[in-house]
A and B are shown apart, each in its own frame.
Chain A
Amino acid sequence: MNIQTPIVNEKNDVSRLTLLSEDALANELLRDKPSRLLFAEIVRRYQKQIYYHVRNLLVSHDDADDATQNTLIKIWQHADQFKGESKLRTWIYRIATNEAINLLRKRKPSIDFNEAQPEMADLITSDVYLSGDDIALKLQKAICYLPFKQKLVFSLRYFEDLSYEEIADLTTTSESALRASYHHAVKKLEIYLGVLG
């Protein structure tokens, strides 16, 4: 006769959630209000992706840390708003992108997202948690000279390996427009890297 205590059951749930795929995890989220274990699994699985995504957009570690924290909290608070119409990762990236935009607007209310923010390039060499690779640093500096939309598309496509479909869902933009935007971004970056290199 096998009598499982609640502790054992919870451990089994943790193990089970860890082994779940992204779609299964989204189904768990859709089935009921997210439990503590489910949210902990989401945090463990997506916190790095959220952080690096907002870090590419905001450059500053402190801003990225604030945006990541706000994103995770909003996931917990608005989990019931996840309809399952998109992937869970897309939904999370969208929340994170909105948090980054809100933070930029809070920092600079008159910001124009169609233009670049070259002042962010100064943070590349002075901030924390930076790689020692010179090419990677030059690329990050070059990204700072891109307009926000191109920066967003390039970051999601190049670093986060999101498909154009996911990015289209995230940005509510057509895939063709995203392809063109990405193409322009790559060409600019290659020019910038040639100039910087």
Chain B
Amino acid sequence: MDLENDKIESAFQAPDAYFSALETRILQQLDLIQSEVVEEKITNPPVLQPIDPPAKGIDTEGVQKRARKQDPITSRSNAVNKELQNIGTFEIPALTFTTNENPEWVNLTAISELPNDINVADIQKITFEQPTVAPVKAEEVVSEPSPIQVGLFQPAPILEPSDTVPKSNDNANHVLSVSDEVITEDFSNNATKIDVDGGLAVKNEPSILVHRVPELTPLEAPVAEDLKIEENADIEAAYAAYLEAEMNEPSDTVKSSVIPEHQPQGVLEEEKTEDPPMAFAPIAGRQHESSTPGWLGIAASFAAIVAAYFIWNAIQPPQKEQTAEVTLQQTEQSQIVKPSVSQLPVASLPVSTLLLESIIRDELPANTEKARVFSLVDAQKLPEEKRQAMGELEDSNLSVFDMEDELFEDLDLETL
């Protein structure tokens, strides 16, 4: 190759971008590029964009108040005038609070000056100032004012057997009230229908007594005239007297002639065992303590255990067969494990074989289950007679000794 005539370019070829960056870097390092930057800024001054003033001043007082007062009940902020949005683009001045509240959201309960009167009326209709008034149901009941207070507890009238109560001629399920107006109220999910007819109270299906007691009571009824209680303090005393009277009577005594004869006896007993009603008695039925003595349950459990034991023994296979089977299995295992040496006739074996057999038998454990595990016999440590016996054993094809463990390395079996 002739370098003088064949010009070869340099192998180093840096791009122009590198040199531009190098130039900039050098000029910056020597603080010579700042004037150029200033020069460019001067030649191209930034154009200031005029800022349009807001179209109209916006009252954000309502928004701010609503943000401060998050409670919708106590808030008294002004409403957002949405008509301002139709004016055009405008800027809302910076607020002095931070909130995630959407400005578009309008809190109806916080606006007191809604133009629609209907809406105002609807809002006022729902109020928290009268929490104890029953909302609609009390208005639907058409009856003359009476001392009966719906929802308040009244003691049940005590029906004495001696009281003569006229039996209703109509259907027993419907009884006229004092005002001869049929009032039907359902207090226990239709479980008890209560009709009032001339001050008589008849229960049809008294499954829940707590509800039956207060609403059925016509205070002007002649039956309850003697026991009319005006003070709440006398309620418990009156009922205690009622309970005492009932306790003195036999349980199967018919208390009133108006009670149907087909009424189950359990219902009457339930009435007797009913606890005195309380102001906040639970609706669900109460659990009564069981009258069954405790030793009876223990005895029943013991009897069940004994019965289970006898049943278990009855379904098990006979013990004799099982024992025979286990014995057979053990016999088979022992026959497999035991070497065939023991089965050979002793007279036909040489003396050395017998010696070896004795050695092996000494090594065998007593348990036949572990008889498969043999300990290794170090032939080098054995006496000469035993070595000879092992050799004869192998010659008789009764055993094969493994040479891998080099136990018989010095033992010349061919010479034995």
> 8 Å CB contacts to A: which residues of B347-398?
none
Residues of B close to A97: CB separation below 8 A: none
Q: Are the CB atoms of A72 and B26 closer together than 8 Å?
A: yes
Q: Are the CB atoms of A194 and B1 closer together than 8 Å?
A: yes
Residues of B close to A107: CB separation below 8 A: none
Q: Are the CB atoms of A65 and B22 closer together than 8 Å?
A: yes
* B5-13, B124-132, B176-184, B308-316 - the one binding chain A: B5-13
Task: Give bound CA distance, A68 to B25, whole Å.
Answer: 12
Q: Does B299 contact A (CB under 8 A)?
A: no
Q: Does B136 contact A (CB under 8 A)?
A: no
| Nearest CB of chain A from residue B369's CB, rounded to whole Å | 73
A73's contact among B1, B3, B30, by CB below 8 Å, is which? B30
Q: Does A136 contact B (CB under 8 A)?
A: yes
| Nearest CB of chain B from residue A26's CB, rounded to whole Å | 20
Known A-B contacts A40-B32, A129-B13; the reply to A186 vs B27 at CB < 8 A is no
Task: Give bound CA distance, A72 to B42, whole Å.
Answer: 29
Q: Does A23 contact B (CB under 8 A)?
A: no
Q: Are the CB atoms of B23 and A136 closer together than 8 Å?
A: no
Q: Does B297 contact A (CB under 8 A)?
A: no
Question: Mask for A65-77, Cβ within 8 A of B = 1, else 0?
Answer: 1001100110010
Q: Are the CB atoms of A133 and B22 closer together than 8 Å?
A: no
Residues of B close to A40: CB separation below 8 A: 23, 27, 32
A43's contact among B8, B26, B42, by CB below 8 Å, is which? B26
Nearest to A160 among chain B residues (CB) is B10
Q: Are the CB atoms of B12 and A129 closer together than 8 Å?
A: yes
Question: Mask for B163-176, Cβ within 8 A of A = 1, else 0?
Answer: 00000000000000
Q: Are the CB atoms of B3 and A190 closer together than 8 Å?
A: yes
Nearest to A11 among chain B residues (CB) is B39
B11's contact among A51, A133, A190, by CB below 8 Å, is which? A133
Residues of A close to B9: CB separation below 8 A: 131, 133, 136
Q: Are the CB atoms of A189 and B3 closer together than 8 Å?
A: yes
| Nearest CB of chain A from residue B82's CB, rounded to whole Å | 55
Residues of B close to A44: CB separation below 8 A: 23
Q: Are the CB atoms of A51 and B14 closer together than 8 Å?
A: yes
Q: Does A150 contact B (CB under 8 A)?
A: no
Nearest to B23 among chain A residues (CB) is A43
> 8 Å CB contacts to B: which residues of A19-48?
36, 39-40, 43-44, 47-48
Q: Are the CB atoms of A159 and B10 closer together than 8 Å?
A: yes
Residues of A close to B97: CB separation below 8 A: none
Q: Are the CB atoms of B26 and A140 closer together than 8 Å?
A: no
| Nearest CB of chain B from residue A45's CB, rounded to whole Å | 11
Task: Give bound CA distance, A39 to B35, whole Å.
Answer: 14
Residues of A close to B292: CB separation below 8 A: none
A131's contact among B3, B13, B43, by CB below 8 Å, is which? B13
Q: Does B2 contact A (CB under 8 A)?
A: yes
Known A-B contacts A40-B32, A189-B3, A193-B1; the reply to A140 vs B19 at CB < 8 A is no
Q: Are the CB atoms of A36 and B11 closer together than 8 Å?
A: no
Q: Are the CB atoms of B13 and A69 closer together than 8 Å?
A: no
A residues near B (Cβ < 8 Å) are: 7, 10, 36, 39-40, 43-44, 47-48, 51-52, 55-56, 61, 64-65, 68-69, 72-73, 76, 124, 129-131, 133, 135-137, 139-140, 158-159, 186, 189-190, 193-194, 197
**CB-based closest 8 A-B pairs:** A136-B11, A140-B11, A129-B14, A131-B11, A55-B12, A36-B32, A137-B11, A131-B13
What are 22 A-B residue pairs whose CB atoms fall within 8 Å in the complex? A47-B22, A47-B26, A52-B10, A52-B14, A55-B14, A61-B12, A61-B14, A68-B22, A72-B26, A73-B29, A129-B12, A129-B13, A130-B12, A131-B9, A131-B10, A136-B10, A139-B8, A140-B12, A186-B3, A189-B3, A190-B2, A193-B3
